[in-house]
Chains A and B, each alone.
Chain A
Protein backbone atom coordinates (compact mmCIF):
# COMPACT_ATOMS: atom_id res chain seq x y z
CA UNK A 1 0.00 0.00 0.00
CA UNK A 2 1.62 3.23 -1.09
CA UNK A 3 1.13 6.43 0.76
CA UNK A 4 0.17 9.46 -1.27
CA UNK A 5 -0.35 11.60 1.78
CA UNK A 6 -3.58 13.44 1.06
CA UNK A 7 -4.65 14.17 4.55
CA UNK A 8 -7.82 16.07 3.59
CA UNK A 9 -9.71 12.87 3.16
CA UNK A 10 -9.86 12.18 6.85
CA UNK A 11 -12.32 14.98 7.44
CA UNK A 12 -14.98 13.30 5.39
CA UNK A 13 -15.28 10.46 7.80
CA UNK A 14 -16.36 12.73 10.62
CA UNK A 15 -18.79 14.60 8.39
CA UNK A 16 -20.74 11.62 7.33
CA UNK A 17 -23.73 10.33 9.18
CA UNK A 18 -22.65 7.98 11.94
CA UNK A 19 -26.10 6.50 12.47
CA UNK A 20 -27.56 4.02 10.08
CA UNK A 21 -31.30 4.37 10.12
CA UNK A 22 -33.02 2.02 7.73
CA UNK A 23 -36.29 3.32 6.38
CA UNK A 24 -38.83 0.84 5.15
CA UNK A 25 -39.71 1.84 1.61
CA UNK A 26 -42.99 0.02 1.33
CA UNK A 27 -45.91 0.84 3.57
CA UNK A 28 -46.70 -2.16 5.75
CA UNK A 29 -50.22 -2.38 4.37
CA UNK A 30 -49.32 -3.00 0.75
CA UNK A 31 -48.56 -6.68 0.91
CA UNK A 32 -50.40 -7.40 -2.31
CA UNK A 33 -51.71 -10.72 -1.06
CA UNK A 34 -54.87 -10.38 -3.10
CA UNK A 35 -52.92 -10.20 -6.34
CA UNK A 36 -51.48 -13.49 -7.40
CA UNK A 37 -48.12 -13.25 -9.08
CA UNK A 38 -48.48 -14.03 -12.74
CA UNK A 39 -44.90 -14.73 -13.52
CA UNK A 40 -44.10 -18.21 -14.61
CA UNK A 41 -40.53 -17.80 -13.59
CA UNK A 42 -41.42 -18.00 -9.95
CA UNK A 43 -43.23 -21.28 -10.54
CA UNK A 44 -40.07 -22.94 -11.79
CA UNK A 45 -38.45 -25.65 -9.67
CA UNK A 46 -35.76 -24.64 -7.17
CA UNK A 47 -32.99 -26.13 -9.29
CA UNK A 48 -33.87 -23.89 -12.21
CA UNK A 49 -33.98 -20.77 -10.07
CA UNK A 50 -30.64 -21.70 -8.51
CA UNK A 51 -29.18 -22.23 -11.94
CA UNK A 52 -30.39 -18.81 -13.09
CA UNK A 53 -29.02 -17.11 -9.98
CA UNK A 54 -25.66 -18.76 -10.43
CA UNK A 55 -25.12 -16.76 -13.62
CA UNK A 56 -25.52 -13.51 -11.69
CA UNK A 57 -23.26 -11.47 -9.48
CA UNK A 58 -24.01 -11.56 -5.77
CA UNK A 59 -25.66 -8.17 -5.97
CA UNK A 60 -27.88 -9.04 -8.92
CA UNK A 61 -28.80 -12.37 -7.41
CA UNK A 62 -29.94 -10.68 -4.22
CA UNK A 63 -32.02 -8.24 -6.24
CA UNK A 64 -33.73 -11.14 -7.96
CA UNK A 65 -34.35 -12.81 -4.63
CA UNK A 66 -36.13 -9.71 -3.40
CA UNK A 67 -38.81 -10.34 -6.00
CA UNK A 68 -40.77 -12.79 -3.94
CA UNK A 69 -40.86 -15.00 -0.90
CA UNK A 70 -40.50 -17.95 -3.18
CA UNK A 71 -37.15 -16.72 -4.44
CA UNK A 72 -35.88 -15.58 -1.12
CA UNK A 73 -34.51 -18.87 0.10
CA UNK A 74 -33.21 -19.98 -3.27
CA UNK A 75 -29.48 -20.14 -3.18
CA UNK A 76 -27.35 -19.78 -6.28
CA UNK A 77 -24.92 -22.56 -7.07
CA UNK A 78 -21.71 -20.86 -6.15
CA UNK A 79 -18.35 -22.11 -5.06
CA UNK A 80 -16.81 -18.77 -4.26
CA UNK A 81 -18.39 -15.87 -2.44
CA UNK A 82 -16.87 -12.49 -3.23
CA UNK A 83 -17.94 -9.47 -1.24
CA UNK A 84 -16.46 -6.11 -2.11
CA UNK A 85 -17.44 -2.59 -3.09
CA UNK A 86 -18.77 -3.73 -6.41
CA UNK A 87 -20.61 -6.90 -5.51
CA UNK A 88 -22.31 -5.51 -2.42
CA UNK A 89 -22.73 -1.78 -2.96
CA UNK A 90 -22.59 -1.74 -6.74
CA UNK A 91 -19.74 0.77 -6.74
CA UNK A 92 -17.05 0.35 -9.34
CA UNK A 93 -13.45 0.72 -8.43
CA UNK A 94 -12.74 4.31 -9.12
CA UNK A 95 -10.66 4.91 -6.10
CA UNK A 96 -6.93 4.99 -5.62
CA UNK A 97 -7.15 2.13 -3.17
CA UNK A 98 -8.66 -1.20 -4.00
CA UNK A 99 -11.10 -0.96 -1.12
CA UNK A 100 -12.29 2.50 -1.95
CA UNK A 101 -11.45 5.98 -0.88
CA UNK A 102 -10.86 6.73 2.72
CA UNK A 103 -14.07 8.76 2.78
CA UNK A 104 -16.23 5.67 2.59
CA UNK A 105 -19.13 6.79 4.74
CA UNK A 106 -20.34 5.14 7.90
CA UNK A 107 -23.57 4.52 6.10
CA UNK A 108 -21.86 2.63 3.31
CA UNK A 109 -19.88 0.62 5.82
CA UNK A 110 -23.05 -0.24 7.69
CA UNK A 111 -24.73 -1.27 4.48
CA UNK A 112 -21.80 -3.40 3.54
CA UNK A 113 -21.50 -5.31 6.79
CA UNK A 114 -25.25 -5.75 7.16
CA UNK A 115 -25.55 -6.86 3.56
CA UNK A 116 -22.84 -9.48 3.98
CA UNK A 117 -24.43 -10.60 7.26
CA UNK A 118 -27.81 -10.95 5.60
CA UNK A 119 -26.45 -12.92 2.70
CA UNK A 120 -24.51 -15.34 4.87
CA UNK A 121 -27.41 -15.77 7.26
CA UNK A 122 -29.70 -16.87 4.44
CA UNK A 123 -27.05 -18.96 2.76
CA UNK A 124 -28.27 -22.51 2.60
CA UNK A 125 -26.42 -23.69 -0.43
CA UNK A 126 -23.76 -26.24 -0.99
CA UNK A 127 -20.27 -26.29 0.40
CA UNK A 128 -18.18 -23.30 -0.56
CA UNK A 129 -14.57 -23.25 -1.67
CA UNK A 130 -13.72 -19.71 -0.75
CA UNK A 131 -14.95 -16.62 1.00
CA UNK A 132 -13.40 -13.34 -0.08
CA UNK A 133 -14.21 -10.05 1.62
CA UNK A 134 -12.45 -6.86 0.51
CA UNK A 135 -13.59 -3.70 2.21
CA UNK A 136 -12.11 -1.02 4.40
CA UNK A 137 -13.17 -2.08 7.87
CA UNK A 138 -11.56 -1.38 11.20
CA UNK A 139 -11.80 -3.14 14.50
CA UNK A 140 -15.12 -1.44 15.26
CA UNK A 141 -16.65 -4.04 12.97
CA UNK A 142 -14.96 -6.93 14.75
CA UNK A 143 -18.34 -8.36 15.78
CA UNK A 144 -19.33 -8.73 12.14
CA UNK A 145 -15.99 -10.11 11.05
CA UNK A 146 -16.03 -12.64 13.88
CA UNK A 147 -19.42 -13.83 12.62
CA UNK A 148 -18.10 -14.19 9.07
CA UNK A 149 -15.17 -16.22 10.31
CA UNK A 150 -17.56 -18.39 12.31
CA UNK A 151 -19.60 -18.89 9.13
CA UNK A 152 -16.44 -19.89 7.28
CA UNK A 153 -15.54 -22.40 9.97
CA UNK A 154 -19.02 -23.92 10.09
CA UNK A 155 -19.11 -24.15 6.30
CA UNK A 156 -15.60 -25.65 6.29
CA UNK A 157 -14.44 -23.10 3.77
CA UNK A 158 -10.91 -23.83 2.69
CA UNK A 159 -9.82 -20.44 1.48
CA UNK A 160 -10.49 -17.32 3.46
CA UNK A 161 -9.34 -14.07 1.91
CA UNK A 162 -9.93 -10.88 3.86
CA UNK A 163 -8.52 -7.50 2.96
CA UNK A 164 -9.74 -4.74 5.25
CA UNK A 165 -7.16 -2.21 4.19
CA UNK A 166 -8.12 1.38 3.66
CA UNK A 167 -6.10 4.40 2.71
CA UNK A 168 -3.09 5.00 4.94
CA UNK A 169 -4.67 8.06 6.57
CA UNK A 170 -7.75 6.36 7.90
CA UNK A 171 -6.34 3.12 9.16
CA UNK A 172 -3.95 4.62 11.64
CA UNK A 173 -4.89 2.93 14.86
CA UNK A 174 -7.66 0.48 14.84
CA UNK A 175 -7.07 -2.71 12.93
CA UNK A 176 -9.04 -5.89 13.15
CA UNK A 177 -7.38 -8.50 15.32
CA UNK A 178 -7.54 -11.74 13.49
CA UNK A 179 -8.46 -14.43 16.03
CA UNK A 180 -5.76 -16.88 15.08
CA UNK A 181 -6.61 -18.92 18.18
CA UNK A 182 -9.87 -19.91 16.43
CA UNK A 183 -7.97 -21.82 13.83
CA UNK A 184 -6.93 -25.23 15.06
CA UNK A 185 -4.09 -25.76 12.59
CA UNK A 186 -2.14 -22.61 13.05
CA UNK A 187 -2.39 -19.50 10.91
CA UNK A 188 -4.53 -19.59 7.78
CA UNK A 189 -3.06 -20.11 4.36
CA UNK A 190 -4.45 -17.06 2.74
CA UNK A 191 -5.11 -14.21 5.03
CA UNK A 192 -4.29 -10.61 4.45
CA UNK A 193 -5.15 -8.84 7.63
CA UNK A 194 -3.96 -5.29 7.37
Chain B
Protein backbone atom coordinates (compact mmCIF):
# COMPACT_ATOMS: atom_id res chain seq x y z
CA UNK B 1 0.00 0.00 0.00
CA UNK B 2 2.77 2.36 0.94
CA UNK B 3 4.39 2.02 -2.47
CA UNK B 4 1.29 3.30 -4.24
CA UNK B 5 0.88 6.10 -1.77
CA UNK B 6 1.20 9.55 -3.23
CA UNK B 7 3.66 11.93 -1.79
CA UNK B 8 2.36 14.11 1.01
CA UNK B 9 -0.19 11.54 1.97
CA UNK B 10 -0.28 9.70 5.28
CA UNK B 11 -2.15 6.65 6.45
CA UNK B 12 -3.88 6.92 9.79
CA UNK B 13 -4.87 3.67 11.43
CA UNK B 14 -7.71 3.78 13.94
CA UNK B 15 -7.75 1.75 17.14
CA UNK B 16 -9.95 -0.86 15.47
CA UNK B 17 -7.59 -1.27 12.54
CA UNK B 18 -9.26 0.75 9.80
CA UNK B 19 -6.91 2.82 7.66
CA UNK B 20 -7.53 6.29 6.27
CA UNK B 21 -5.43 7.90 3.58
CA UNK B 22 -5.17 11.57 4.43
CA UNK B 23 -3.19 14.47 2.95
CA UNK B 24 -0.34 15.39 5.26
CA UNK B 25 -1.53 18.99 5.57
CA UNK B 26 -4.80 17.70 6.98
CA UNK B 27 -3.20 15.15 9.28
CA UNK B 28 -0.81 17.67 10.81
CA UNK B 29 -3.70 19.77 12.05
CA UNK B 30 -3.34 17.35 14.90
CA UNK B 31 -0.33 18.69 16.79
CA UNK B 32 0.42 15.23 18.08
CA UNK B 33 0.69 13.88 14.54
CA UNK B 34 2.58 16.99 13.43
CA UNK B 35 5.21 16.34 16.10
CA UNK B 36 5.53 12.73 14.97
CA UNK B 37 5.96 13.79 11.35
CA UNK B 38 8.48 16.50 12.22
CA UNK B 39 10.48 14.14 14.38
CA UNK B 40 10.41 11.71 11.50
CA UNK B 41 9.37 8.96 13.83
CA UNK B 42 6.29 8.36 11.77
CA UNK B 43 6.38 5.62 9.20
CA UNK B 44 3.83 5.72 6.41
CA UNK B 45 1.18 4.41 8.71
CA UNK B 46 0.48 6.36 11.86
CA UNK B 47 -1.45 4.48 14.51
CA UNK B 48 -4.10 6.54 16.26
CA UNK B 49 -4.78 4.56 19.41
CA UNK B 50 -7.88 5.23 21.52
CA UNK B 51 -9.75 6.60 18.52
CA UNK B 52 -12.02 4.22 16.62
CA UNK B 53 -12.77 4.42 12.90
CA UNK B 54 -16.09 6.15 13.38
CA UNK B 55 -14.64 9.00 15.42
CA UNK B 56 -11.46 9.21 13.38
CA UNK B 57 -13.55 9.66 10.23
CA UNK B 58 -15.35 12.57 11.88
CA UNK B 59 -12.11 14.20 12.99
CA UNK B 60 -10.68 13.86 9.47
CA UNK B 61 -13.85 15.34 7.98
CA UNK B 62 -13.51 18.33 10.30
CA UNK B 63 -9.83 18.85 9.54
CA UNK B 64 -10.36 18.49 5.79
CA UNK B 65 -13.07 21.11 5.83
CA UNK B 66 -10.90 23.49 7.83
CA UNK B 67 -7.97 22.89 5.52
CA UNK B 68 -9.97 23.47 2.35
CA UNK B 69 -11.88 26.45 3.53
CA UNK B 70 -9.09 28.70 4.67
CA UNK B 71 -10.09 31.10 1.94
CA UNK B 72 -13.79 30.67 2.57
CA UNK B 73 -15.77 33.12 4.57
CA UNK B 74 -15.34 32.66 8.31
CA UNK B 75 -19.10 32.61 8.74
CA UNK B 76 -19.43 29.57 6.48
CA UNK B 77 -16.87 27.75 8.55
CA UNK B 78 -18.72 28.71 11.71
CA UNK B 79 -21.92 27.25 10.29
CA UNK B 80 -20.07 24.07 9.40
CA UNK B 81 -18.57 23.90 12.90
CA UNK B 82 -21.87 24.32 14.67
CA UNK B 83 -23.50 21.67 12.48
CA UNK B 84 -20.53 19.38 12.86
CA UNK B 85 -20.52 19.41 16.64
CA UNK B 86 -24.27 19.05 16.89
CA UNK B 87 -24.26 15.38 17.88
CA UNK B 88 -25.35 13.12 20.64
CA UNK B 89 -23.44 13.37 23.89
CA UNK B 90 -21.66 10.04 23.47
CA UNK B 91 -20.18 11.03 20.12
CA UNK B 92 -19.45 14.49 21.48
CA UNK B 93 -17.37 13.17 24.36
CA UNK B 94 -15.61 10.67 22.10
CA UNK B 95 -14.72 13.56 19.83
CA UNK B 96 -13.53 15.72 22.73
CA UNK B 97 -11.34 12.89 23.97
CA UNK B 98 -9.93 12.36 20.49
CA UNK B 99 -9.38 16.06 19.84
CA UNK B 100 -7.70 16.48 23.20
CA UNK B 101 -5.54 13.41 22.85
CA UNK B 102 -4.51 14.25 19.29
CA UNK B 103 -4.31 17.95 20.06
CA UNK B 104 -6.59 19.39 17.37
CA UNK B 105 -7.20 22.84 18.77
CA UNK B 106 -9.88 24.13 16.38
CA UNK B 107 -11.97 21.02 16.88
CA UNK B 108 -11.52 21.10 20.65
CA UNK B 109 -12.62 24.73 20.83
CA UNK B 110 -15.68 24.08 18.69
CA UNK B 111 -16.64 21.09 20.83
CA UNK B 112 -16.12 22.87 24.13
CA UNK B 113 -18.18 25.77 22.90
CA UNK B 114 -20.94 23.36 21.97
CA UNK B 115 -20.99 21.84 25.45
CA UNK B 116 -21.04 25.36 26.87
CA UNK B 117 -24.09 26.14 24.74
CA UNK B 118 -25.82 23.18 26.39
CA UNK B 119 -25.26 24.80 29.77
CA UNK B 120 -25.89 28.42 28.84
CA UNK B 121 -28.90 30.03 30.45
CA UNK B 122 -30.17 26.78 31.95
CA UNK B 123 -31.13 26.24 35.55
CA UNK B 124 -29.01 23.98 37.72
CA UNK B 125 -31.87 21.50 37.64
CA UNK B 126 -31.90 21.42 33.84
CA UNK B 127 -28.14 21.17 33.56
CA UNK B 128 -28.31 18.16 35.82
CA UNK B 129 -31.00 16.47 33.78
CA UNK B 130 -29.21 17.26 30.56
CA UNK B 131 -25.89 15.79 31.59
CA UNK B 132 -26.88 13.16 34.06
CA UNK B 133 -30.21 11.95 32.86
CA UNK B 134 -32.48 11.61 35.85
CA UNK B 135 -29.78 10.12 38.02
CA UNK B 136 -29.50 11.50 41.47
CA UNK B 137 -26.27 13.25 41.92
CA UNK B 138 -24.34 14.81 44.69
CA UNK B 139 -25.22 18.44 44.39
CA UNK B 140 -23.62 21.12 46.41
CA UNK B 141 -26.58 23.39 46.82
CA UNK B 142 -26.66 22.42 50.45
CA UNK B 143 -23.72 24.72 50.66
CA UNK B 144 -25.58 27.95 51.21
CA UNK B 145 -23.09 30.14 49.42
CA UNK B 146 -23.66 28.35 46.15
CA UNK B 147 -27.36 28.85 46.60
CA UNK B 148 -26.83 32.51 45.98
CA UNK B 149 -25.93 31.71 42.44
CA UNK B 150 -28.77 29.42 41.66
CA UNK B 151 -31.82 29.78 43.88
CA UNK B 152 -33.65 31.87 41.33
CA UNK B 153 -33.52 28.88 39.04
CA UNK B 154 -35.51 26.52 41.14
CA UNK B 155 -38.81 28.14 40.36
Contact = CB atoms under 8 A, between A and B. Distances in A.
A62 B127 CA distance: 12
A66 B119 contact: no
B119 A39 contact: no
Contact of B148 (A48, A55, A111): A111
B115 A69 contact: no
Contacts of A88: 149
Contacts of A94: none
B96 A44 contact: yes
Interface stretch (A25-33, A123-131, A135-143): A25-33
A64 B138 contact: no
Interface stretch (B3-11, B67-75, B106-114): B106-114
B151 A25 contact: yes
A114 B141 contact: no
A32 B142 CA distance: 12
A67 interface: yes
Interface residues of A, number: 46
Interface in B46-95: 89-90, 93
Contacts of B141: 24-26, 66
A35 B128 CA distance: 14
Contact of B135 (A37, A40, A57, A90): A37
Interface string A66-86: 111100100000000000000
Contact of B108 (A26, A51, A63, A114): A51
B147 to A, nearest CB: 6
Nearest to B125: A63
A177 interface: no
A47 B148 contact: no
Main SS class of interface, B: helix
A22 B147 contact: yes
B122 A55 contact: no
Contact of B145 (A38, A44, A114): A114
Interface string B122-137: 1110011001110111
A57 B139 CA distance: 20
Nearest to B132: A39
A103 B19 CA distance: 66
Given A51-B112, A63-B122, A66-B149, A22 B144 contact: yes
B1 interface: no
Interface string A48-68: 100111111101101110111
A60 B119 contact: yes
B45 interface: no
A118 interface: yes
A115 interface: yes
13 contacts: A22-B148, A23-B144, A23-B147, A24-B142, A25-B154, A48-B96, A51-B108, A54-B112, A62-B150, A66-B149, A66-B150, A69-B138, A118-B146
Interface of A: 22-28, 30-33, 35, 37-41, 44-45, 47-48, 51-57, 59-60, 62-64, 66-69, 72, 88-90, 111, 114-115, 117-118
